[in-house]
Amino acid sequence: MHSQKIHHLDEFIDLLTDEHKQIFQFLKNLIETNLPQIEERISYNVPFYFRHKRICYIWPSSIPWGGVKTGVALGICAGIYLSNEQDLMTFEKRKEMGKVIFQSLEEVQEKQASIIELLKEAYYWDELQHNLK
């Protein structure tokens, strides 16, 4: 377990490699551009994105205490409930959270349309669950 507590996004970004910064900024932009009324909060020392509940997170492997071994993970908090028609998510030993690991900015750019579909589906799931209450 890492003892450093990150409070602000700038502290998080300072810990990233140049390549991970590029991937992070691209994914962050996709999230903020395509998901209305989204809120970014540091949780578990990485940025999570909320509407009513946690929708997704970005966890680069340059943040060593997260268990991401290589690349940058885009985690989908309720991934198990989504269609995964894009065939992007893996679940490993997680019950609900799916994640997509990107090794390069080019890979993210190539899969941009599928990533946006996945993010919108996760956002819709969050809205649906909130409205059912």
| pLDDT at site 93 | 83
Bigger pLDDT: 4 vs 122:
122
Q: Per residue in 13-27, pLDDT tens? A: 999 999 999 999 999
The answer as to CATH 3.10.310.30 being correct for domain 9-127 is: no
Parallel/antiparallel/unpaired status of strands 98-102 and 46-50? unpaired
| pLDDT at site 45 | 87
Q: How far is CA 59 from CA 16, 26, 83, 110, in A?
A: 10, 13, 22, 20
| pLDDT at site 3 | 56
Q: Per residue in 61-86, pLDDT tens? A: 988 777 789 999 999 999 999 999 99
| pLDDT at site 1 | 44
Domain range list for the chain: 9-127
| pLDDT at site 9 | 92
